[in-house]
């Protein structure tokens, strides 16, 4: 009888969580000096106070994967992101340190663009974060060739 209750309880919990898993939202960060540069975190949600969460996504402007970490202050006043975005070809990488005040989800970025032999350091205000819609992962091209798994 005890095994049946545990199994039933696990099934009920799984059914209750199913809508949350299916409705996972994406999170977008924009307002960079290059207005076409928008970071999208796949299924990302701002972490609870005093904790961190991984960021995995891409830059919607091009063929750039992004990864990093976001941590929310213990008092819930802000969330800080450290995100690195780069391309396989072209030698481009960008490192962004983003701070968004909560609950407004607005703030600033300090970053570095690394391309070829040059490094450009920048900072900007007016950065915003919000839940965003569906996305499709961009294809990856190398020397004009579509790589397997691309669109």
Cis peptide before 103 (omega within 30 of 0): yes
Distances (CA, A) of 116 to 84, 105, 120: 16, 33, 11
DSSP code, position 104: T
Residue spans of the domains in the chain: they are: 25-133
From first CA to last CA, the distance across the chain in angstroms is 52
Cβ proximity of 90 and 114 under 8 Å: no
- 15-64 pLDDT, tens digit each: 333 333 345 689 999 999 888 889 999 999 999 999 999 999 998 777 68
pLDDT given for residue 18 in this prediction: 36
- 125-147 pLDDT, tens digit each: 999 999 987 665 555 544 443 33
Average pLDDT, the chain: 79
């Amino acid at each position: 009888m005890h095994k049946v209750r545990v199994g039933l309880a696990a099934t009920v919990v799984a059914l209750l969580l199913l809508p949350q898993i299916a409705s996972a939202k994406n999170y977008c960060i924009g307002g960079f000096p290059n207005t076409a540069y928008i970071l999208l975190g796949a299924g990302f949600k701002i972490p609870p106070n005093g904790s961190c969460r991984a960021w995995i996504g891409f830059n919607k402007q091009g063929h750039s994967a992004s990864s990093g970490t976001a941590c929310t202050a213990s008092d819930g006043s802000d969330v800080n992101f450290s995100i690195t975005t780069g391309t396989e070809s072209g030698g481009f990488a960008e490192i962004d340190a983003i701070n968004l005040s909560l609950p407004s989800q607005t703030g600033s970025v300090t970053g570095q663009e690394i391309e070829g032999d040059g490094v450009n350091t920048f900072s900007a205000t007016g950065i915003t974060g919000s839940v965003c819609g569906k996305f499709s992962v961009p294809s990856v091209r190398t020397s004009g060739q579509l790589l397997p798994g691309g669109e």
